[in-house]
Structure 1
Amino acid sequence: MLTFAAAVFLLIVTPGPGVLSTAGVGAAYGFRPGLSYVTGLFIGTNLVLAAVITGLAAVVLSVPAIRWVLMAASVAYLLYLAARIAFAGARIAFIEAKSSPGIGAGVLLQTINPKAYAVNTALITGFGYAPGNLVFETVTKVIIMNAIWIPIHLAWLWAGVTLHRLNLAERTQRAINMAMAAAMLGVVALALLSAFGG
């Protein structure tokens, strides 16, 4: 069980679309909007977890066309979120992002996020510690995963909000927003490399 908990921590804490966008939303918009977004991520990640546990994800993702559609939707949505974070509060050309991504945005990101499916599948199907009692193992895995997921995402939100609360000069805040967006674009690039076997 401790090995499983360590694996959960390492897989969730590493920068992916969820934690990077959480920090970005916190840095760009503050705590309340960030908490709303994290709530959406939480709902979304548990929907993905339910899909993995029931086998629905395996059935759906066994169709290559659906995997490509999810990848394309995920990349497009991450690009959109990166733009929202990069241009938060700025009037640059036609882009103005005054309102923050909310609960719906978090749910959407997780349900089309390939990392969410990969991580949940690896954790649910691997790291067996109660082979004689699959129900116990599955229920405790869900509890452990959520018990680790919540503080990690709140910590990333806190890091972003801390940057937001420093009341930095507009130019510095914009640079931070751009850096957060660039990190998300890096995740997009890694996802595309992985999809094309690079």
Structure 2
Amino acid sequence: MFTFFAAVVFLIITPGPGVLTTAGVGSGFGFRPGLRYVTGLFIGNNLVGLAVITGLAAVVLSVPAIRIVLTVASVAYLCYLAAKIAFAGSKIAFVEAKTAPGMLNGVLLQTINPKAYAVNTALYAGFPFLPDNLVLETVAKVLILNAVWIPVHLGWLWAGATLHRLNLPESAHRKINYAMAASLLAVVALALYASFLK
């Protein structure tokens, strides 16, 4: 069980679309609006977990055309979120982002987030610790995963919101938002690169 817990910590805390957008939303819009977004990510991550546990994800993702459509949708949506973060509060940008991504945005991101499927598959399919009772093991894994997921994402949101609250010049705040958005786009580029290697 300790090995599973350690795997959860390392797989969730590493930067991916979920934590990067969480920090970016916190930085661009503050903690309270970001909390709605994190709630959506939480719901979405558990929906992905359910799809992995039931085998639905494996069936759907085994169709190459569906994988391509989901990859394209994921990249487009992540680019949209990166733009919202980059232009948060900006009145000179071609995209003026006045409102933070909400709960539905979080749910949508997780359902098309390749890292969410990879992490959930690795965690639920691997690291057995109760091989004689698969149901109890699965329930325990869901509880452990969420017990780590919640504080990690709230921590990233708090870090972003702390930047938001600092009395920084507008130019410095804009640079932070650009850096957050660029980090998210770098993760998108790495995901695309990894998918072409398959």
Give the TM interval when normalised to the shorter protein: over 0.9
- Please give the secondary structure, in 2, of the residue aligned with 1:72: helix
Aligned partner of 2:94 in structure 1 is: 94
Deviation string 1:41-60 (CA, Å, 9 cap, x unpaired) is 00000000000001100000
Structure 1 counterpart of 2:147? 147
Q: What secondary structure is seen at the aligned counterpart in 2 of 1:91?
A: coil
Give secondary structure in 1 for the equivalent of 2:143. Answer: helix
Q: Which letter maps to 1:187?
A: V
Does residue 1:48 correspond to 2:75, yes or no?
no
Structure 2 CA distance for aligned equivalents of residues 70 and 24 of structure 1? 23
d(CA) in 2 for partners of 1:23 and 1:61? 29
Distance 2:30 2:168 in 1: 13
1:191 Cα deviation (Å)? Answer: 0.6
Corresponding pairs, count: 198
| CA distance in structure 1 between the partners assigned to 2:112 and 2:130 by the alignment | 31
1:22-51 deviation per Cα after TM superposition (whole angstroms, max 9, x unaligned)? 000000000111000000000000000000
What is the TM-score normalised by the length of structure 2? Answer: 0.99
Correspondence 1:119 to 2:119 = yes
Q: Is the 8 A contact 2:82 2:184 kept in 1?
A: yes
Structure 2 SS opposite 1:196: helix
Which whole-Å CA distance do the structure 2 matches of 1:93 and 1:177 have between them?
13
RMSD: 0.8
Structure 1 Cα separation of the partners of residues 31 and 106 of structure 2: 15
| Structure 1 stretches lacking a partner, 5+ long | none
Q: Percent identity?
A: 73
Equivalents in 2 of 1:33, 1:127: separation in Å? 36
Distance 2:92 2:79 in 1: 17
Alpha-carbon separation, structure 1, partners of 2:94 and 2:192:
27
Q: Deviations over 1:112-160 (max 9, x none)?
A: 0010000000000000011100001000000000000000000000000
Match of 1:18 in 2: 18
Please, what TM-score do these two structures have when normalized by structure 1?
0.99
Q: For 1:106, give the aligned amino acid.
A: G
**Structure 2 residue identity aligned to 1:21:** T
Gaps of 5+ in 2: none
Asked whether the 8 Å contact 2:87–2:93 carries over to 1, the reply is: no
| Counterpart for residue 108 of structure 1 | 108
What letter is aligned with 2:152?
I
